[in-house]
Amino acid sequence: MRQSIFLELAAQGARLPIGTDMVLREQPQPEAVAEDGQQLGQVVVAAARRYRSPLAIPLMDLTLEKAWILAMLGIAPQERETYQFHQPPGPQALETIRKKLADPLPTRSQATFDAVAYVAGQTDLTPLGMAIGPFSLLTKMMPDPISAIYMAGMGAGPDDEVEVKTALELRTIALEVVLASLQRQIAAGAKAIIVCEPAANITFFSPNQLQAGSDVFERFVMQPARQIKQLLDQHGVQLFLHDCGELMDPMVTQLASLQPAVLSLGSSRRLWEDAQLVPKDVVLFGNLPSKQFYSDELTPPENVQGLIRELTARMRQTGHPFILGSECDVLSVEGCHEKIKGKVELMLNGKAPFQPLHTG
Amino acid sequence: MADLSALQQAVIKGDRANAVKLTQEAVNAKVSPKEILDQGLVAGMAVVGARFKKNEVFVPEVLIAARAMKEAMGVLEPVLAKAGIKPAHTAVIGTVQGDLHDIGKNLVAMMWKGANFGVIDLGTNVPPEKFVEAAKQHQANVVGLSALLTTTMPAMKKTVEAIKAANLPGVKILVGGAPITQAFANEVGADGFAPDAATAVDVAKKVLAA
């Protein structure tokens, strides 16, 4: 797929909420759908049709890769969600994972990859993949990743602090499994992949430490991310990099240096200012405060159009390629579904009808 | 001679080894355990909390300081217990059912511990009945509910309802987390809302004094 596709979408004034969860939750049995590739694929397609989007965007389910790792290590399904490594997993764990990467996947991961294949094989939509980034995955696997990262940033090594050792070993495992996930999705037909690194932010990395010259962000986020980019480049697949965390400017600059086709940022950022930090061929995406759409107090419906007008006008002034979107996955909230759906609809007002992409 | 200002600095810097060493020295020097706690450890965390409020330090520095305090408390707690000194208040805290996020909850727990609250941390994905049970068992003054996901806010409402239905005298319920607002706190009947971890101590003290 050509990187310029996203530039063309930006030039057309595309509006692309990420909101497959909204459609999934409208199904009579959403959990069953999420475990069936064809049905999940149909939901992904239905979401693209609802949003009049040429891109089929999967669920942003950032639990899949962790569950896959733990399945390979023999952790029982009911323990996977809350399981954490209190000690370094050890070289044996990595070896086990490498041996088992080709084994059958957990049901939900398989369904996710099958859904990509369904879109690629059965529709005129452009199939996108989705994966958690290695750093964010690491943070889900240990009880206190923040302190471990901070100590690593202070110069502590694996022999100094057991938590640093745990973090380093989990970084290796996380990267290995994310790369395997990407390969499976590429094989299924994904033309671009959304890699989500929401934990690469100032909660996990101290701005004081980074300003003092620590390379910890480089070691834990950027180095693995470059390996991801390299893999995607090898297959002609575009990187859609998503980080809705609170970021420092140098973090944005570093993420943009990966040359993703799209850089998706959270609503804490002013995209029109970020346009100065990001190369002109990297499309900025986002960043309507969709996490607040459940609340009319935080985001009254009448303000949504105003936010859209302001954001699009400011981005037009910068001349930077931009696609209006949600700051993150738009999630259905019990009791607020219709309210959220209505606000997403407001994003689509005036949007041109669907046109399939010629991905080349 | 025990140096409580050095102990305070060790906590501020997150220097675990020194915090433990200086606490042990103070205990050995027969300094009152209350004095070690208040003028060394709690005072250090108060400085960190104040700097956090002003964005001079960030989450990692708070966690590192709290770890130093926790390790030093390992030395001090038996001495406090022997002297019959108990925390000023008891708090139960957890992330509500369906939500596995713990950073905000951990920060509030550390801030409360730093302010000499006894804290029972129930972890994440905590069902309403577990909050009720823990509040009863530990005779809590405060129950703190955390949620990061908008999708788990209904679980927060159910938890508040369960605690209220249990009719526990004197228990105040505080809610917080990224999607939570004062309006939501009012709507679900919480006694207080902490917009961030830095204010959680003030909010807890305010509702307890009310």
* C-alpha–C-alpha distance, residues B204 and B193, integer Å: 9
Cα distance between residue B200 and residue B194, in whole Å? 5
For residue B28, how many other CB atoms are within 10 A of its CB? Answer: 10
Contacts of B178 in chain A (CB under 8 A): 291
State residue B150's pLDDT score.
87
Q: Flag whether pLDDT at A360 surpasses 70.
A: no
Cα A255-A259-A261 angle, rounded to 5 deg: 105
Residue B1 predicted with pLDDT over 70: no
Instruction: Find the mean pLDDT for residues A231-254.
Output: 97
* CB pair distance less than 8 Å for A208 and B58: yes
**Mean of pLDDT over chain B:** 93
Closest to A125 measured CA to CA, from A34, A44, A4, A236:
A44
Structure-block tokens of residue A68: 């896959």
Please give the C-alpha separations between residue A38 and each of A93, A118, A119, A189, A238, in angstroms, as whole numbers: 33, 6, 9, 14, 24
The minimal CB distance from A150 to the residues B64, B100, B184 is found for: B64
Q: pLDDT at residue A354 above 70?
A: no
Is pLDDT at B173 greater than 80 in this prediction? Answer: yes
Q: Is the peptide bond prior to B28 cis by the omega test (within 30 degrees of 0)?
A: no
Q: Which of A136, A209, A248, A333 to mutate to test the interface with B (most CBs of B within 10 A)?
A: A333
Predicted confidence band of residue A350 (pLDDT cuts 50, 70, 90): low
pLDDT tens digit string along A130-153? Answer: 999 999 999 999 989 999 999 999
Rounded to whole angstroms, the Cα distance separating A359 from A27 reads 31
Q: How far apart are CA B188 and CA B197, in angstroms?
A: 20
Q: Is residue B35 over pLDDT 80?
A: yes
Q: Which two tokens stand for residue A128?
A: 């996108």
Distance from CA of A81 to the nearest CA of B (A): 8
CA distance A220 to A167: 9
Contact in structure between A240 and A258 (CB atoms under 8 Å): no
Predicted confidence at residue B3, as pLDDT, reads 87
Chain B residues in contact with A144 by the CB 8 A cut-off are: 63, 106
pLDDT over 80 (residue A352): no
Amino acid B210: pLDDT: 81
For residue B60, the distance in angstroms to the closest alpha carbon of chain A comes to 6
Cα–Cα nearest to A94, from A181, A166, A161, A160? A166
Residues of B in contact with A337 (CB under 8 A): none
Question: Is there a contact between A202 and B181 if contact means CB atoms under 8 Å apart?
Answer: no
Residues 6+ apart with CB under 8 A from B112: B91, B93, B119, B142, B144, B200, B201, B204
* CA–CA distances in Å: residue A97 to residues A2, A72, A170, B180: 33, 6, 12, 39
Q: Tell me how far apart the alpha carbons of residues A268 and A142 are, in angstroms, rounded to a whole number.
A: 26
| CB contact (8 A) between residue A297 and residue B181 | yes
CB contact under 8 A, A335 and B57: no
Mean pLDDT, range A190-214, rounded to an integer: 96
Minimum-distance CB partner of A333 among B57, B124, B150: B150
Query: What is the per-residue pLDDT for B2?
Result: 73
In the predicted model, is pLDDT for residue A47 greater than 90?
yes
Query: How many Å lie between the alpha carbon of A5 and the closest alpha carbon of chain B?
Result: 33
Residue B180's Cα: distance from chain center in Å? Answer: 18
Amino acid residing at A104: P
CB B115 within 8 A of CB B194: no
The predicted structure's pLDDT at residue B197: 87
Find how far residue A72's CA is from the centre of its chain: 23
Q: How many residues does chain A have?
A: 360
Characterize the bridge pairing of strands B172-176 and B142-146. parallel
Of the candidates A281, A265, A270, A263, the residue with the CA atom closest to the CA atom of residue A321? A281
- Residue A274: DSSP 8-state: H
pLDDT tops 90 at residue A314: yes
Q: What value does the mean pLDDT of chain A take? A: 94
**Pick from B97, B182, B94: which is nearest to B135 by CA?**
B94
**Which residues in chain B are contacts of A331 at CB distance < 8 A?**
149-151
Q: Which of residues 73-112 of B touch A (CB under 8 A)?
A: 100, 103, 106
Q: Is B149 on the interface with A (CB under 8 A)?
A: yes
Residues of chain B with C-beta less than 8 angstroms from the C-beta of A203: 58-59, 103
**CB-based contact B44:B80 (threshold 8 Å):** no
